[in-house]
Every structure is written in C-alpha cells, then in structure tokens.
Structure 1
C-alpha cells in the first residue's frame, strides 16, 4: 500500500500547482466562526484524550498526542496566515509562539516518550506478531520460525 500514498502525494503536488496558479489572495467564507470553534474543540478533545490516556498509561497515547500536536500546528499556521495586518497579526504570532507551538512540542514529546518502553527503547513495547500474539511471546515459542534453539 505505500505506493498508494506515494501516488496521492504526487497528485497533491500537481493540485498545489493548480491552486497556486488559480486561487486569489482573498475570499468570503461562510461559517467562519464554526470553522474556528470546531478547530478549537478538536484541540480540547485532543488534550483531554491525551490526558486520560496518560493517566491510564495506555499505549494509544503514542498516537493521540502527536495527532493533537498536528491540530495545534494547523491552528498556528492558519492563525498567522489568515490574520489581518497589524495587531491581529502580532496577536496571532504571539499566540503561535507562546501557546500553540509549545503545546504541539509538548504533545510530540509525550508521544515520543510514550512510544518507548521502560528502558527507553521501542523494543520494550510489545507489538502483535504474525498470529496476533505479542512478538515477545512469539519469539519464545518453539513453533515460531524466529524462535531460538534450546541449549
């Protein structure tokens, strides 16, 4: 399936060229308020989900925290690029620098640390083997092709 993703990336590069050649520099937008409120709700949900998963010591925090970071980075990008010149732009830059980017960095750090096991390596985190059992259990099983010979 990686070729599907690569093909989509190639198509997106073409689409970006089309947008660059055809989009204007301004637009009138319906539901501007709903768009921003929705983005902020996603941030709240991401932060709360990350918090709960951390408290539960759930492995899913390694995926949820980086997704939350991406939402904060998207928020910072659109705050800065869509703000009006002057105080609105300065406020957007300040918000990005002091709130959104630091929170994104914290979420990325949480996700990275969560993907490590107790000794700090990804080898500590059990993952599913070919028959659904953990790789550690599969490696110690004599029926597993990668099992070590006894003795």
Structure 2
C-alpha cells in the first residue's frame, strides 16, 4: 500500500496517510486526526488571520473611494531610498546566507521577493505620465518582476525539508 508523509506545522511530527485502492492519490485526513496533528495555537492564528484578511475588504473599498487621487509626500526621497536599501539588504543577505549554506536564506529570499513586487507596484503606480511611466514599466517587467520570481523560486527550493 502506498503512503505519503505529511509534516505538522508546529511539532514537525510525521503522520502517515495511506492511499486508498492504489489510486496514487492520498486520501484526506479525517477531521479528528487533522485537528490532533495541527496544534491549537496555529489553528487559532489561522482563524484570526483569515478573519482579519476578510475584514480588510471593506477597508480597501473605503480607501479606494475615499483617498485623494494625488498627494504630496514630505519625505519622498527617503521613502524610495529606504525601500531600495531594504531590497539591497535582502539581496546581499540572501547571497551571503546561500554562500554559507544557511537554510535561513529561504526567509530572506522570500522577503526580498516581496519587496521587489512592492517596488514594481509602487514604481508604476506613482510614476508621472509619459517617459517616467514607460521607464517604470520597463524596469518592472525586465528587472524587478523577474528578480522577484527568481527570489520566490529560490525561497521555495531552499526551504528546509525533512527526509522521509
């Protein structure tokens, strides 16, 4: 009988799930078994985070309809310098952690991927019409987004996994 190993998020205990009738697809854990292998704190956190995510939907509608189309920022240069500094720090720390063979590189790589996506979004959304916007789109399409995808792939491939 074929089996698949699942790892609990909190305790990293292994649970063996047997595939039914040679189908090659593991059947789902019974609800009681799933609850016992998934500790209470992460279950509660999952519920709270899901509710908070859903609660943000009306807030997003309010922001989109209530915010002005333009605004002046007092610290514009510091804002962009800070974001790009965090990206540089993420790339540098990921590279150094990878060079050392440190499994925490998956964390810095995931964070850097997120920063690059945010940078691409805000570059294009805040660019002035015309050549500034065209440059922002070119940088997003050919630099920031491909690098974000590369960092995301790197994060998933370097994520530590237990041997079976």
TM-score by length of 2: 0.70
Q: Map 1:1-151 onto structure 2 (within 5 A).
A: 1-115=45-159, 122-124=161-163
C-alpha distance in structure 2 between counterparts of 1:45 and 1:38, whole Å: 10
C-alpha deviation, 1:28, in angstroms: 1.0
1 CA distance for matches of 2:152 and 2:146?
10
Structure 1 position 102, deviation (Å): 1.2
For structure 2, the residue ranges without an aligned partner over 5 or more in a row are 1-44
Distance 2:98 2:112 in 1: 13
TM-align CA RMSD? 1.3
Alpha-carbon distance in structure 2 between the residues aligned to 1:30 and 1:63? 32
CA deviation after TM superposition for structure 1 residue 21, in Å: 1.8
TM-score normalized with structure 1 length: 0.75
**Counterpart-to-counterpart distance in 2, 1:72 and 1:57:** 23
- Alpha-carbon distance in structure 2 between the residues aligned to 1:45 and 1:62: 14
Match of 2:10?
Answer: none
The Cα shift of 1:31 comes to: 0.1
Aligned residues: 120
- DSSP 3-state at the match of 1:91: helix
Q: CA offsets, 1:74-95, max 9 Å, x none?
A: 0000000110111000000011
Higher strand share: 2
CA distance in 2 between counterparts of 1:37 and 1:69 reads 17
